[in-house]
Structures are given as structure tokens and as C-alpha cells.
Amino acid sequence: MALAEAGARGRLLRWPRVLLFGDSITEYSFQENGWGAYLADRLVRKCDVVNRGISGYNTRWAKLILPRLITESTSADSVVAITIFFGANDSALKDLNPKQHVPLEEYAANLKSMIQYLKSVDITEDRIILITPPPLQESAWEKACLAKGDKLNRCNATTGQYAQACVQVAKDCGTDVLDLWTLMQKNQDFSSYLSDGLHLSPKGSSFLAAQLWSRLENKVSALPSLLPYWRDVDHTNPEASLL
């Protein structure tokens, strides 16, 4: 059978998608031992895990580009879940990092704006998971800042205020939320979760993956495995199994 004929007979295979939208903590999530790579491995025969992490971005910029990433006409219906993971840059101290800083009230409003946009393209609240920024280990991040000739430009207490705002937005809008800032600090010494005081270490990535999977699993559990297991293919008539 010619390939063109096989394609005409068979239904187009469309992989559902889990979309990861965030800053550098998301962008780096496909690195070795990354939390995004873990999810992709768990879901490889069920859906694509798409990394749309953009290093250095805050919610002010993110809400502008979200409509360029997802529109109703570009298969928003195939998105089974989306994570929105911002705040580590928004919570930068205004005096020391005015470019990335976003005021607390605007941060919350931007998150709500992104949720409203997703709803407008029929991605419902039950498919959205907000993730708060992780805690900041100030001494390690100060060392990273000094190495670049900068002063310490974030503090953990301020990051916590943004985390609380993220949790409140989720309550107000009816979405899931993963309060990473609080959960990581249940272990008093959370420094091992971070590689440089801000970004996740392999241990932190594993922690996030496990916490996120518990919230994601019910959203993807009903997805069928795409294409039959190889032992179930009728080798005498593969078209019957595969088209």
C-alpha cells in the first residue's frame, strides 16, 4: 500500500499536549534530571509535554505572549493541562532589579488575566495549574549575584508574598495550585532543593515533579495509550491494527 493511500485511510494521529509555561525554571526543566523531562517520560505514549519556558520573563511579558502561543484555531482543545509558573522574576526587588520587577498587585492581576484568556479559548479552570515561585536561599543567590557584579536583588520574604498572591489567585479563579514556596520550606533547610539559591537542583526538580504529578495525574489518567502495544499488532494484517 502506498504511503499516501495509508495516510488517506488512517485517522490523523494527534497527540494531546501538556503545556509548561513559565520562566527559566521551566525553560531548564528539560535538562538532565529536570522536572519537565520527568513528566515527558511518564507521558510519552499518552501526550506531548511542550516546554514554553522563557528565561528571565515575568507575568507582565508573559500575558502578552500567551495569545501568540495558544489560540482557539491552533488546537487549544488538544491542551489537556497547562502550568503557569511565574513569580521568581516578578518578585525581584524594584530598586535593584527594576527591569524584571512587577508590583505584587499587578502580578496577581496578570495571573488572573492569563487564566481569563485561557478560558476564552476554551481551556477550562480544571486544566490549569498555577505554581508559586520556590523559596529563595539568599546567601547562595547573593553569591551568584556578586559573581555577576550585582547586589542581592531578591529576598525570600518578598518571594513569599508573591507565592501567597499566586495561591489566592488560584482560589479566586478555581484552578489548581502548587505552593512550592511553602512545601519546600517544610524541610527547614531547603537549600538542597536549589542549585544557586534561585533555580532548582536535581533534588528540587524531583520534588517538584512528584508534587506536580499528584495534581496532573487525574487530568491525564483517562488518556488512552496512543497506538497499540507491539505485541497486539496483527503482524499478518498490520493495517487492521494501525489504520
The catalytic site residues sit at: 24, 196, 199
Half-sphere exposure of residue 9, counting CA atoms within 13 Å on the CB side? 11
The grid coordinates listed for 125 are 479552570
Task: Note the maximum CA span of the chain.
Answer: 71
Are residues 34 and 28 in contact, defined by beta-carbon separation less than 8 angstroms?
yes
Q: How many helices (H) and strands (E) does the chain have?
A: 10, 5
**At which residue does the C-alpha cell 551568584 appear?**
144
**CA 54 remoteness from chain centre:** 11
Closest residue by Cα to residue 88 from 64, 107, 74: 107
51: alpha, beta or left, given left = phi > 0 and alpha = psi -120 to 50?
Answer: beta
Are residues 18 and 216 in contact, defined by beta-carbon separation less than 8 angstroms?
yes
Closest residue by Cα to residue 131 from 80, 185, 75, 169: 169
Cα separations in angstroms, 158 against 44, 79, 93, 111, 129: 38, 33, 8, 17, 22
